[in-house]
Amino acid sequence: MYYIVETQKSFHQASEDLSSAVIRNGFGVLHIHDLGATLRSKGIAFEEECKVFEVCNPTQAAKVLSTDMRLNMALPCRISVYTEKGQTKIGLIKPVPMLCSLSQDAALVQVAKEVEEKTIAMVDETR
C-alpha cells in the first residue's frame, strides 16, 4: 500500500528536488504542508521533519471526478518527504490500492495506474 524510499539527501534537498520532479512529470504542486513546523509552532516537542506535498495532474483529476464525484475526498495525491531517526525518506500511499478500495470502476483503475506510475517516478527521481 505504501511506496517509501530512503535517500542520502538532506531533508531540505529532497524537498526541493521533489518539487522539480513533480513539474518534470506533468503535475503541479498545489500546496506543501510543513507538519513538523506546524506541530512545533503549537508547542509540541516534535523532533522529526515532515513536508506533505499535495500534487495534481488536472487532466487525471478531471477524469476521476467526472466518473465519481465522491472521489474528490481522495484528491489530490500526496507525497511526503520526512525524517525518521535521522534518515530522510520519501513516500506515498499508492493510488491503485487506495482507489480500488473506494471504487471498482475499470476506467478509474486505469487512471490510478497511470498516476501511480508517475508519482513513483517522481519519488525515484528525487531519491
User: In the prediction, which pLDDT does 52 show?
Assistant: 98
Question: In the 8-state DSSP scheme, what is residue 48?
Answer: S
Tell me: domain 2-126, CATH 3.30.310.70, correct? yes
Write the single-letter amino acid at 31: H
User: In the prediction, which pLDDT does 104 show?
Assistant: 85
pTM: 0.94
Q: Among 62, 48, 55, which Cα is nearest to 92's?
A: 55
Q: pLDDT means per 10 residues in the chain (127 residues)?
A: 98 98 97 98 97 97 95 96 97 94 90 97 98
